Structure 1
Amino acid sequence: MAESQHRSQHRSNSGSHRGRRPKRTIDKVRLAAFEAMSEITGQGAYANLVGPAVINHHQLSGRDAALATELINGTCRALGTYEMIIEEASGRDTRDLDPDVVDVLCLGTHQLLGMRTPPHAAIDTTVNLAGAVVGERVVGLVNAILRKITRHDLDGWTSILAEGLTGADELAVRHLHPRWIGHAYADLLPAEEVGPALAANNVAAVPTLVARPGLSTVEELVTAGATATGPSPYAASYKGNPADLLAVREGRAAVQDAGSQLVATALARAEAPDGWWLDLCAGPGGKAGLLTGLAAERDERLLAVEVAPHRADLVARTLRAHVTARPVTICADGTRPAWPQGRFARVMADVPCSGLGALRRRPESRWRRTPDDVTDLIRLQQDLLHSAVEAAQPGGVIAYVTCSPHADETAGVVEAVLAERSDLELIDAPSLLPEVTDAALGWYVQLWPHRHGTDAMFLALLRRRS
């Protein structure tokens, strides 16, 4: 299978396609989607960032904006699968095609197989797009490949691609995932849940709001039109634009997945001594915002740490609403402490990870990540957990958190650190979240989209002994 990562090495150095003059008349929606895909596959951009940017650039709104968003996110979500289908239909390796042609074909394939676009309309608009952004020389090729793709629906094509495969391999292909991710899920879930878990990643997450303690309440959000959703006691959902709510505009509430809320809540509920709290990897600030409010309820304060300057700035902006709580934000490396050791009552270590628990939010990431990415992160994750332990005072509690269910970067990291230290003990994390059922993984918490409607967050709680 051709990996979508390769395209940046073969694409011309022409840069962004914004502003290019098409030779054909083409609707702004398809052009915006193509420009976004070009940046995602050619420059490593993120769909959730570049998508809104190109939509705004083309001044799309309403149905057009929604259609462009679906074209971008839906194509990214099934990108590797669509490339395999294109190869099967054309008999050609996508690496032998112009990268722009591959992007155009993937957009057309999504319209044919992943949307309700009539086949003739999907082919006509895609051929028109190819002629406009690539040139007339590729029109016949694009037309021919798309017509061959119409021979089967998506289930038919994935059946062809999965022929001869069994178990996690077959489920991964049928549910539009790389096979290694299917195996990672199969290592953790009962066999009957692997398919539903993978399928849940193909359903866009509904934005969840957090009512930050001391600044707003779920009741205030409900009065403004939101709905209390749980399982977090601070969660609510809102069908409209969150910025329409006064509490969100003022920073007293924000968009935050309920899973992120729950791991912060568990840390706050654990028995611990009095003292400062530390958020070791705070960017972009969602958990820090919630932790600051929870600390203030105990008349305690939070130090938020972020290594990247632009993300540290985001954290500081997030915490501005907590005037009376007096949180502190610094830009520093969590593995090189710039703060007193052995001083913090509670430490949050939400470490950099593969992000396999947020695939429904980051549609392109499943095709960018590889098993090597997980391996490369493990040493950093262990170092950050060691640093978090050193920062905790005797009796202090450390939360090790990832937005990934992969065993190597979750339980594997915790157990490696436990084996190297004699001053740690595990806390029964599931017992601190009684409102969440079926999330216990031994003494750890593992959330899942298909079970809990949250990102697949992992939580381990540890106590530093004297």
Structure 2
Amino acid sequence: MADQHERRRGPRQRSRNVPAQRARQGDPARLAAYTVLRAVAEGAYANLELPHELRRRRLSGRDAGFATELTYGTLRMQGLYDPIIAVAADRPVSRLDGGVLDVLRLGTHQLLSMRVPQHAAADQSVALARQVNGAGAAGLVNAVMRRVSERTVEEWREAVVPTEPTSTRLAVSTSHPEWVVKALRQALVGHGASDAAHVDADLERLLEAHNAAAPVALVARPGLSDVEELLTAEHLETAPGDHSPFAVLLLGGDPAGIPAVRDGRAAVQDEGSQLLALALAGAPVTTPAGRRERWLDLCAGPGGKAGLLAALAREHGADLVANEISEHRSDLVRATLRPALEAAREAGLELTVRTADGREAGADEPGRYDRVLVDAPCTGLGALRRRPEARWRRTPADLAGLGPLQRDLLASGLDALAPGGVLAYATCSPHLSETSFVVRDVTRRRDDVEALDAPAVLREVASSELAGLGDGPAAQMWPHLHGTDGMYLHLLRKRA
């Protein structure tokens, strides 16, 4: 109620505290968010830095939740906040010190997008600036915060968001680089999720979905854990998943508090990612009589899909090789698969983690595997909800570097595929240059593969109806339609 009372005082309320009464240091939650933002500016990843920072400052409960929303919300929305700050500071943000700019972004997010009283947002921002940037910066932050607080977020949008062209308007209003906006517009049409008459509205829904906190989905790895164990975990609020039969949604609490997650029998995994593994395991293959199936995860690191594939392979009585080019990431896969490795040995099955270049698998092991997953490195434009800094780091130049790698991995995976076997080409990006164009370029030079109906296979393995996957043969999932990351799936069978 106190927050509501403060907000009713109107957008032009200023701090009533004189300078001597203001806090001299930022509180731990805001300092944690600032520390993560500075680490991200140096190349770190927020999803890795934030948990470390919360533990270091012993933040939990509401304080940890506040720091998390402040960190992720600020990173997501800086494309809108920067032009607001430029107007309030009367200078381009490029002329501001990076640390000072991050303090201003954090303060602007509190003022315009969080239920934080105006005087608290302003005073704490000034205190944080004084602590980390010095007294001179504190004066600038105080002035800018005062000017930002003089308008509502709606008034600021009207002031800084251009009306035309549409791509620029959406880029600023939803805080995305304009090249990403244009690419996602093309992807919606190209994957059959929209048409010319509705694409602008659908695009805005997709971009807004990127700015909402992604649900925490857990996977109960079959044979190692089950959904009931996760649903009945103590001191946590959970619910059944929306699409995967092995998924549980964590509505509140820390997944590390679940014994099955700590033991590696369950894990945090987006439902879209789960469905990709289930589709590969569920697609029909033809295997010679008397031989058990051999599976290959060509790009297994850091191990999320490999963890589910290993459990499914055990259920199928199949062997699995998890391949990763980086020794460090191979170690992560081994750690993820530890319970599955033990279970495979007990069942007399082979589960192997190896370090090798996936581009050489087809030449080294031609026709060996019955199921192959090529989860190709990509820009990650389908996972912007979970990786808020990715939208600002990626550039169109990344596509030029990733494209040849994606094509080489797909070609290698197809060469490693046995006649009658099925390959799943997957990315966590809907960009046409990373999805359908890659498959088209590789398969048009071959006469030994055919496409399966990926939407039909996904609907077969899902626990609920999945609409809006596209017209086939490929399938594309969307945050605004399915509540998953933007996962792409193309299933290819090697002709006998």
| TM-score normalised by length of structure 2 | 0.86
Cα 1:278/1:180, change in 2 over 3 Å: same
Q: Does 1:279 align with 2:291?
A: no
The answer to whether the aligner puts 1:369 opposite 2:361 as a matched pair is: no
Match of 1:58 in 2: 57
Sequence identity, in percent?
A: 50
**Residue 455 of structure 2 is aligned to residue 436 of structure 1:** no
1:358 corresponds to which residue?
383
Does residue 392 in structure 1 map to residue 405 in structure 2? no
2:89, 2:27 → 1: CA distance?
Answer: 27
Written as runs of structure 1 = structure 2, the 5 A alignment for 1:8-27 is 24-27=24-27
Letter aligned with residue 57 of structure 1 = R
Aligned residues: 443
1:442, distance to aligned residue in structure 2 (A):
2.5
The counterpart of 1:416, out of the listed 438, 441, 458, is: 441
Moved over 4 A (4+): none
After superposition, the C-alpha distances for 1:412-454 in whole angstroms (9 at most, x for unaligned) are 1111111222222111111112242211242111001111111
Q: Does 1:446 align with 2:465?
A: no
**1:205 aligned partner:** 214
The residue number in structure 2 matching 1:218 is: 227
Task: Indicate which of 318, 324, 332 corresponds to 2:356.
Answer: 332
What residue in structure 2 maps to residue 138 of structure 1? 137
Q: C-alpha separation between the residues in 2 aligned to 1:25 and 1:436?
A: 50
Secondary structure of residue in 2 paired with 1:78: helix
Q: Partners of 2:127 and 2:209 in 1: how far apart?
A: 34
Q: Which residue of 1 aligns with 2:428?
A: 403
For 2:389 and 2:409, how far apart are their aligned partners in 1? 27
How far apart, CA to CA, are the structure 2 residues paired with 1:94 and 1:55? 29
Q: Distance in 1 between matches of 2:368 and 2:334?
A: 22
From the superposition, tell whether residues 47 and 441 of structure 1 become closer, same or farther in structure 2 (CA, over 3 Å): farther
Change over 3 Å in CA distance of 1:220–1:141 after alignment to 2 = closer
Counterpart position of 1:228: 240
Equivalent of residue 244 in structure 1, options 231, 235, 257: 257
Contact 2:79–2:172 (Cα < 8 Å) also in 1: no
SS in 2 for 1:248: helix
Q: Deviations over 1:367-403 (max 9, x none)?
A: 1112222232111111111111111111211100000
Task: State the 1:166 CA deviation.
Answer: 3.5
Which residue in 2 is equivalent to 1:109?
108
8 Å contact from structure 2 (residues 374, 425) kept in 1? yes
CA contact (8 A) 1:403 1:456 kept: yes
Instruction: Give the 3-state SS of the residue equivalent to 2:354 in structure 1.
Output: strand
CA drift of 1:198 comes to 0.8
Distance 1:58 1:246, change over 3 A: closer
Report how far residue 346 of structure 1 moved.
0.5
1:156-188 deviation line (CA, Å, top 9, x unaligned):
323333223233332232222122222122113
Change (3 A) 1:44 1:51: same
Task: Decide which of 192, 204, 208 is 1:195's aligned counterpart.
Answer: 204
Distance 2:354 2:83 in 1: 46
Q: Which residue of 2 aligns with 1:162?
A: 161
Bigger mean CA deviation after superposition, 320-329 or 149-158:
149-158
Per-residue deviation, 1:136 = 1.1
Q: Which amino acid aligns with 2:185?
A: A
SS in 2 for 1:396: strand
Residue 406 (structure 1) shift: 0.9
The CA deviation at 1:339 is 4.9
Amino acid at match of 2:395: T
- Cα distance in 2 for partners of 1:56, 1:213 equals 31
Deviation at 1:33, TM superposition (A): 1.6
Kept in 2, the 8 Å contact 1:228–1:237? The answer is yes
For 2:165 and 2:158, the matched residues in 1 are separated by 11
Residue 373 of structure 2 aligns to a residue whose secondary structure is strand
Please give the secondary structure, in 2, of the residue aligned with 1:188.
helix
Measure the CA separation in 1 of the matches of 2:28 and 2:114.
Answer: 18
1:112 and 1:316 map into 2 onto residues whose CA distance is 45
The amino acid that maps onto 1:33 is: A
8 Å CA contact retained: 2:80, 2:174: no
Farther off after superposition, 414-423 or 383-392: 414-423
1:84 is matched with 83
What amino acid is the match of 2:246?
Y
The answer for unaligned runs of 5 or more in structure 1 is 1-22
Secondary structure of 2:359's match? Answer: coil
In structure 2, what is the equivalent of residue 265 of structure 1?
278
Query: 1:277 is matched by which residue type in structure 2?
Result: W
Task: For residues 6-40 of structure 1, give each alpha carbon's deviation from its aligned partner in whole angstroms, at most 9, with x where no partner exists.
Answer: xxxxxxxxxxxxxxxxx943322222221111111
Counterpart Cα distance in 1 of 2:230 and 2:123? 46
Contact 2:25–2:124 at 8 Å: present in 1 too?
A: no
What amino acid is aligned across from residue 26 of structure 2 in structure 1? Answer: I
SS at match of 2:311: helix
Q: Distance in 2 between matches of 1:411 and 1:123?
A: 48
1:310 pairs with 2:328? yes
Matching residue's letter, 2:29: V
Within 2, Cα distance between the matches of 1:332 and 1:169?
43
Q: Retained in 2: the 8 A contact 1:213–1:294?
A: yes
* Matched residue, 1:35: 35
Aligned to 2:485: 455
Tell me: CA distance 1:133–1:222, structure 2 relative to 1, closer, same or farther (3 Å). Answer: closer
SS of 2:187's equivalent? coil
Instruction: Name the CA shift for 1:362/1:266 in 2 (closer, same or farther; >3 Å).
Output: same
Q: CA deviation at 1:138?
A: 1.8
- Alpha-carbon distance in 1 for matches of 2:102, 2:231: 42
Q: Please tell me whether the aligned partners of residues 26 and 125 of structure 2 are also in contact (alpha carbons under 8 angstroms).
A: no
What is the alpha-carbon distance in structure 2 between the residues aligned to residue 170 and residue 331 of structure 1?
A: 46
Structure 2, unpaired ranges of 5+: 1-22, 189-193, 288-292, 345-349, 460-464
Q: Look up the match of 2:319.
A: 301
Equivalent in 329, 339, 342 of residue 321 of structure 1: 339
Indicate yes or no: 2:92 matched with 1:73: no
Q: Call closer, same or farther: CA 1:441–1:198 in 2, change over 3 Å.
A: farther
Deviation at 1:277, TM superposition (A): 0.3
